[in-house]
Structure 1
Amino acid sequence: MKWSVSLLGAGLVLVVLRDLFHTLWHPTRHGGLSRLVMTALWRLSRRVRPRRRVAGLVGPLAMVTVVVMWAATVVLGWAIIYWPHMPGAFRFAPGSEAARAPSALDSVYLSLVTVATLGLGDIAPAEGWLRVVSPLEALVGFALLTAAVSWVLEIYPALSRRRALAVRLALLREADPTPRQLDNTAGALLLDGLAGEVVRVRVDFTQYAEAYYFHDGEDRASFAAMAGFAGALAERGQRAQRPEVRLAGELLAAALRDLAAVLDQRFLHTGGAPAEVFAAYAADHDGGPARR
């Protein structure tokens, strides 16, 4: 019976490690629990009015919630591992109040102290296998802290790239270049550069799926609101006379189709054409599509 309970705790720890791996390090980054938490908070924010004020908090709040969930589950899992063997398999410091506490409380306390790498020493494992398992918890705690910091440092550059592309598209919308103005080498370079930036955003949505749940704020910096205008620029390039401009327009259109496929497959599930996907993307982020 003791070992069955300990195995249950080990299972909880493994669930967290798997979710951590798939959220941060797996190439496709399909986190299970973390994705459910973020999706739930995003959908909940859609029920709140005014939504724009709340939506800006969803991404950061979701990340904090996921990290707290990971930490709490790790602490609980290791506490369950210790609990059936408490107090017989542990040594208590002379005069320690911990020896008088319930074994469940001692287990949670030991797990918290170990995962935080404090090493107070008033409770120490006495059996050989516990002397191996306990340092492993400290290693997991250190890995969890490192992973949380890395996650923050990775996600915000991806958001900056997306918002920079949105501002660039907003400036182009204000300039409103005609097909004739794009029908030159500069126009080809412009469309080719936009295609490259769209591809980077597409990769960001693949590698950092949680970036979807960050609201970009004003329409000028919202890629959700500006993606439609990128499609309009691609169409203007495709109607140009010069072959290099038509090629650049085709590249931009292909990049947008690829991005739309990723957004639809992972988040929106409309099953529609790219224009419909981008319209749904704009609606999901409370942004209107740019005029064409």
Structure 2
Amino acid sequence: MKWLVSLVGAGLVMITLRDLFHTLWHPTRHGGLSRLVMTALWRLARRFRARRRVVGLVGPLAMVTVVSMWAVTVILGWAIVYWPHMPGAFTFSPGSEAAKEPALLDSVYLSLVTVATLGLGDIAPAESWLRLVSPLEALVGFALLTATVSWVLEIYPALTRRRVLAIRLALLRDSGPTTQQIDCTAGALLLDSLATEVVRVRIDFTQYAEAYYFHDGEDHSSLAVMVGYADALARRGQAARRPEVRLAGDLLAGALKDFAAILDQRFLHTGGTPTEVFAAYADDHGRSRAQP
């Protein structure tokens, strides 16, 4: 029975590590529990009246919630591993009152101290298998800390790329380029560079799906608003006279179509055209699309 309880704890730890791996390191970045938490917080926040303020906190709050969930489940999992063997399989420092405490409390305390790599030493494993297993928890704790830092360092550059594209589109919209300015070599280069940036953002949404749950703030920095203008530029490019401009327009239209497919497949599930997907994207972020 003791070993069965320990196996349950080990299973809980493995589930957490799997979720962490799929959220941060798997090529498709399909997190399980973490994705459910973020989706639930996003949908809950959108129900509040103070929509923009509340939704703006969802991304950072969701990341904190997910990391806290990982930490709690790892601590509880290892505590369940220790619990059936406490206190007989452990040694206690002289004068320690820990042995007089409930076994479950001591197990949680030991797990918390170990995962935080504090190494207080007042409770130490005595049996050989525990002396081998216990340091693994410290390694898991170190991996969790490293993963959290790397997650933060990865997600914010992705958000920056998305907002840079949105602001660039806003500046183009405000400048109001004419048909002649688009139907030239410079216009072809412009459309081609926009297609490249759209592809980068599309990859960001694939690798960092949690970026979707970050609100961009003002309209001119919101890709959910400005992506409609990119669609209009692509159509103008496709209707141009110069072949290089038409080619660049086709590239931008293809990049936008692929981007819409990712948005719909992973987040929106409308099953509609790219135009309908972009409208749903703007609505989901509490905005209206920019008009061409």
TM-score in terms of structure 2 length: 0.99
Distance 1:176 1:214 in 2: 29
Mapped pair 1:76 → 2:76? yes
* Equivalent residue pairs, number: 292
Q: How does 1:208-223 map to 2 (within 5 A)?
A: 208-223=208-223
Give the drift of 1:107.
Answer: 0.1
Identity of aligned residues (%): 80
Distance 1:62 1:200 in 2: 24
**Deviation digits for residues 9-64 of structure 1, max 9, x if unmatched?**
00000000000000000000000000000000000011111100011100000000
Give the drift of 1:180.
Answer: 2.1
Distance 2:92 2:49 in 1: 54
Equivalent residues of 1:20, 1:31 under 8 A apart: yes
SS in 2 for 1:261: helix
Query: Which letter does structure 1 place at the counterpart of 2:159?
Result: L
Query: Which letter does structure 1 place at the counterpart of 2:82?
Result: Y
Query: Which letter does structure 1 place at the counterpart of 2:85?
Result: H
SS in 2 for 1:146: helix
Mapped pair 1:262 → 2:262? yes
Residue 97 of structure 1 corresponds to 97
Distance 1:46 1:56 in 2: 10
Equivalent residues of 1:199, 1:255 under 8 A apart: yes
Query: Which letter does structure 2 place at the counterpart of 1:280?
Result: A
Query: Which letter does structure 2 place at the counterpart of 1:205?
Result: F
Distance 2:287 2:177 in 1: 23
Distance 1:289 1:109 in 2: 52
Residue 155 of structure 1 corresponds to 155
Query: Which letter does structure 2 place at the counterpart of 1:122?
Result: D
Distance 1:178 1:44 in 2: 43
SS in 2 for 1:91: strand
Equivalent residues of 1:79, 1:110 under 8 A apart: yes
Q: How does 1:220-235 map to 2 (within 5 A)?
A: 220-235=220-235
Equivalent residues of 1:178, 1:236 under 8 A apart: no
Over aligned residue pairs, what C-alpha RMSD do you find? Answer: 0.5
> Which ranges in structure 1 are unaligned for 5 or more consecutive residues?
none
**Deviation digits for residues 243-276 of structure 1, max 9, x if unmatched?**
0000000000000000000000000000000000
Equivalent residues of 1:29, 1:206 under 8 A apart: yes
**Deviation digits for residues 99-139 of structure 1, max 9, x if unmatched?**
11110000000000000000000000000110011000000
Distance 2:80 2:47 in 1: 37
Q: How does 1:100-179 map to 2 (within 5 A)?
A: 100-179=100-179
**Deviation digits for residues 213-263 of structure 1, max 9, x if unmatched?**
000000000000001100000001111100000000000000000000000
Q: Report runs of 4+ in structure 1 exceeding 3 Å deviation.
A: none
Distance 1:209 1:179 in 2: 36
Give the drift of 1:97.
Answer: 1.3
Residue 51 of structure 2 corresponds to 51
**Deviation digits for residues 76-114 of structure 1, max 9, x if unmatched?**
000000000000000001110111111000000000000
Equivalent residues of 1:28, 1:206 under 8 A apart: yes
Equivalent residues of 1:282, 1:288 under 8 A apart: yes
Residue 288 of structure 2 corresponds to 288
